[in-house]
Amino acid sequence: MKQFFKNVFASAFGVLIGVAILFTIGTFALMAMIANSSGESEYKPKNNTVFKLVLDGSIVENNVSNPFLELFGEKEPLSLSRILRSIRLAKESENIKGIYLETNNTSSSPATLTAIRNALSEFKESGKFIISYADTYSQGGYYVASVADSVFVNPIGGVFMTGLASVGIFHSGLTDKLGIEYNIFKVGTFKGAVEPYYLKKYSDANREQITSYQQSIWKNLTSAILKSRSISREDFDRFVNEGLFFDDAQKTVEMKLTDGVRYRYEVENSVKLIAEQDVNEKLIAADVNKMSRVKDKKQIKKDKIAILYAEGIIAESSSLYSMDELVINEDLIGEFRKLIKDDEIKAVVFRVNSPGGSAYISEQIWKQVIELKKTKPVVVSMGTYAASGGYYISCGASKIVAEPTTLTGSIGVFGVFPNMTGLFDKVGLSTDVVKTNPLADLGNVSRPMTENEKAILQAYVERTYDLFLSRCAEGRKMTKEAIDTIGQGRVWTGEQALEKGLVDKLGGINTAVEEAAALAEIEDYSVIAYNSNKDFFTKLLESKLDEMKISIIKNMLGKQFEAFRVLSSNRPLTGIQARMPVELEGI
The 3-class secondary structure across 170-213, one letter per residue, is CCHHHHHHHCCEEEEEEECCCCHHHHHHCCCCCCHHHHHHHHHH
For residue 521, give the 3-state DSSP assignment.
coil
Which residues have CB under 8 Å from 274's CB, separation 6+? 97, 98, 129, 131
pLDDT at 294: 92
Can you tell me the mean pLDDT for 384-406? 97
Q: Tell which wins on pLDDT, 295 or 129.
A: 129
Which residues have CB under 8 Å from 507's CB, separation 6+? 401, 402, 403
**How deeply is 532 buried, as exposed, middle or buried, from its count of CB atoms within 10 A (0-12, 13-18, 19+)?**
middle
Instruction: Tell me how far apart the alpha carbons of residues 563 and 553 are, in angstroms, rounded to a whole number.
Output: 12
| 9 pLDDT tier (thresholds 50, 70, 90) | very low
Residue 323 clears pLDDT 80, i.e. is over it: no
Residue 567 clears pLDDT 80, i.e. is over it: no
Where helices occur in 407-493 by DSSP H, the ranges are: 421-427, 451-476, 480-486
* Catalytic residue status for 532: no
Closest CA to 77 of 61, 90, 100: 61
Name the CA dihedral angle for 67, 68, 71, 73, rounded to a multiple of 10 degrees.
-80
Residue 43 DSSP class: B
Instruction: Tell me how far apart the alpha carbons of residues 517 and 495 are, in angstroms, rounded to a whole number.
Output: 23
Can you tell me the mean pLDDT for 337-350? 96
Pick the catalytic residue: 52, 186, 191, 376?
191
pLDDT at 61: 87
Residue 407 clears pLDDT 90, i.e. is over it: yes
Can you tell me the mean pLDDT for 473-480? 97
Q: Which residues pair with 153 in a beta bridge?
A: 134, 261
What DSSP string runs through 418-438?
A: EE-HHHHHHHT-------SST
pLDDT at 75: 66
Would you identify the CATH topology of the domain 304-579? 2-enoyl-CoA Hydratase; Chain A, domain 1 (3.90.226)
- The angle formed by the CA atoms of residues 312, 504 and 500, to the nearest 5 degrees, is 90
pLDDT at 514: 97
Residue 553 clears pLDDT 70, i.e. is over it: no
Assess contact for 67 and 37: CB atoms under 8 A: yes
pLDDT at 582: 53
Which residues have CB under 8 Å from 509's CB, separation 6+? 84, 115, 307, 349, 351, 381
| 320 pLDDT tier (thresholds 50, 70, 90) | very low
Instruction: Tell me how far apart the alpha carbons of residues 504 and 379 are, in angstroms, rounded to a whole number.
Output: 10
Top CATH class of 49-162+243-291 equals alpha beta
Residue 437 clears pLDDT 60, i.e. is over it: yes
pLDDT digits (tens, 9 = 90+) for 181-202: 999 999 989 988 899 999 999 9
For residue 156, give the 3-state DSSP assignment.
coil
Q: Which residues pair with 353 in a beta bridge?
A: 311
Residue 544 clears pLDDT 60, i.e. is over it: no
Which of 386-400, 476-490, 543-557 is least confident?
A: 543-557
Residue 151's alpha-carbon distances to 145, 228, 587, in angstroms, are 7, 11, 19
Report the chain's mean pLDDT, rounded to a whole number: 85
pLDDT at 39: 47
Question: Per residue in 429-445, is it b (16+ CB within 10 Å) or e — as a string?
Answer: eeeeeeeeeeeeeeebb
Task: Report which residue type is found at 25.
Answer: I
| 108 pLDDT tier (thresholds 50, 70, 90) | confident
pLDDT digits (tens, 9 = 90+) for 157-170: 999 999 999 999 99
What DSSP string runs through 550-570?
A: HHHHHHHHGGGHHHHHHHHHT
Pick the catalytic residue: 270, 388, 394, 551?
388
pLDDT at 327: 84
pLDDT at 540: 46
Instruction: Tell me how far apart the alpha carbons of residues 216 and 245 are, in angstroms, rounded to a whole number.
Output: 23
pLDDT at 60: 87
Q: Which residues pair with 308 in a beta bridge?
A: 350
* Catalytic residue status for 388: yes
Assess contact for 48 and 274: CB atoms under 8 A: no
Can you tell me the mean pLDDT for 149-160? 96
What percentage of residues in the chain have a pLDDT greater than 70? 80
Instruction: Tell me how far apart the alpha carbons of residues 544 and 157 are, in angstroms, rounded to a whole number.
Output: 36
Same fold, 49-162+243-291 and 304-579: yes
Instruction: Tell me how far apart the alpha carbons of residues 288 and 267 are, in angstroms, rounded to a whole number.
Output: 20
Domains of the chain: which residue ranges?
A: 49-162+243-291, 304-579
Instruction: Tell me how far apart the alpha carbons of residues 425 and 427 are, in angstroms, rounded to a whole number.
Output: 6
For residue 527, give the 3-state DSSP assignment.
strand
pLDDT at 105: 78
Residue 32 clears pLDDT 90, i.e. is over it: no
Can you tell me the mean pLDDT for 349-366? 94
Q: Which residues pair with 309 in a beta bridge?
A: 351
- Round the CA-based radius of gyration of the chain to a whole number and report it: 27
Give me the numbers of helices (H) and strands (E) for the chain, helices first please: 22, 23
Where helices occur in 279-388 by DSSP H, the ranges are: 288-291, 331-341, 359-373
pLDDT at 34: 46
Closest CA to 502 of 482, 522, 525, 532: 482
pLDDT at 460: 94
pLDDT digits (tens, 9 = 90+) for 262-289: 999 999 999 999 999 999 999 999 999 9
Which residues have CB under 8 Å from 263's CB, separation 6+? 154, 155
Closest CA to 402 of 499, 262, 497: 497
